[in-house]
Structure 1
């Protein structure tokens, strides 16, 4: 786990990053700027339980490619979930909060994940344990109003103009952040790679 100090604001940005791309870097950059983060942990997961069976590049390769893309000094590429044998986001957040008292963490995710967030293990527990920032992604803006999470926790949505203060709020609290969007996706990049090998 990267080193942090009490009072810091830290974003938790997890994913398979299979492969990582400029769209991920854009989400991280928007989160750093809008939320006033001291660090953003780019957490390369051993595997996504909702994507079981998909071709997954080796963890070391995904870490290396992430480090090549995530060059901003405040971004810390890490794969501590593999070391602690953690599979689910709810368990990751519990572990991070227990080991880092006094640090203000925010879960960062692209809006493409918001639409299916209710399929995540213990998703309501996640919302109640850490502030969440959802960063807009192409084709996913409507998840802001249509997703089960947005409907269930609509009362806990913080206006985007107040996003810089998100870390100081007690969960459940979340915000939706608009901004520049990249149309890149890991799925599309994997498919292109497969096609080029034919």
Structure 2
């Protein structure tokens, strides 16, 4: 096993929730806990990305976002990971290829909010993602209709599992995806940044760090 990566035994089911987590919030916490239950997963990893190729806004430093994520998400089966930075990958399809090589026999499931499904067809190698790992889509407030009408949802409609079959997703033959409705906290990283709460938190963290080294 590569240094710095947690042990996973063959046969385990692991959900991967990618994003900038700039910052992580209770919506991420709730979607992760729901994914463990809804899809019958053994683990969920938060893949905190170095940056998002689709966004102009560049996030806060990775170490700050990792620290904030660990502070808000405390669960024995949810792991906060900087795998993309360690692997040197920029796109989801690349990350998945590396992880599948590192963990033969582990069943990975890509997790996303319904808002991401709505623009999934813009992701690099998005078909490859759907063709190689099951995808679990978690509905967020206001995103259900646009997600279900998205190009990816229409093209892969024959491979969609019913919500009642969600616990079968991790072991389904690809392509396979499942859309589930879960109650969620109506929170977003962009709203937190707009209110200035994240920048204030970074300033406090920076001041604390400076005090510790003074």
TM range (shorter): over 0.9
Q: In the TM superposition, what whole-angstrom CA distance separates every residue of 1:45-99 from its partner, at most 9, and x where no partner exists?
A: 0000001x30411100000011111111100101011011100000011111111
CA shift, 1:195, in A, is 10
- What CA distance in whole angstroms lies between the structure 2 residues aligned with 1:108 and 1:196? 28
1:1-198 → structure 2 map (5 Å cutoff)? 1-51=5-55, 53-193=56-196
Query: Helix, strand or coil: the match of 1:142?
Result: helix
- What CA distance in whole angstroms lies between the structure 2 residues aligned with 1:65 and 1:121? 28
Alpha-carbon distance change, 154 to 71 in structure 1, aligned in 2, over 3 angstroms? same
Q: What TM-score does the superposition give when structure 1 sets the normalisation length? A: 0.95
Gaps of 5+ in 2: 201-214
Query: Helix, strand or coil: the match of 2:144?
Result: coil
Alpha-carbon distance change, 195 to 68 in structure 1, aligned in 2, over 3 angstroms? closer
- What CA distance in whole angstroms lies between the structure 1 residues aligned with 2:103 and 2:122? 27
Q: What TM-score does the superposition give when structure 2 sets the normalisation length? A: 0.88
CA shift, 1:145, in A, is 2.1
Query: Helix, strand or coil: the match of 1:108?
Result: strand
Gaps of 5+ in 1: none
Q: In the TM superposition, what whole-angstrom CA distance separates every residue of 1:21-62 from its partner, at most 9, and x where no partner exists?
A: 0001111011011111111111100000001x3041110000
Q: In the TM superposition, what whole-angstrom CA distance separates every residue of 1:136-175 from its partner, at most 9, and x where no partner exists?
A: 1111011342111100100000001011011111110000
- What CA distance in whole angstroms lies between the structure 1 residues aligned with 2:28 and 2:195? 18
- What CA distance in whole angstroms lies between the structure 2 residues aligned with 1:196 and 1:3? 35
Q: Is the 8 A contact 2:160 2:178 kept in 1?
A: yes
Find the structure with the greater CA-based Rg.
2
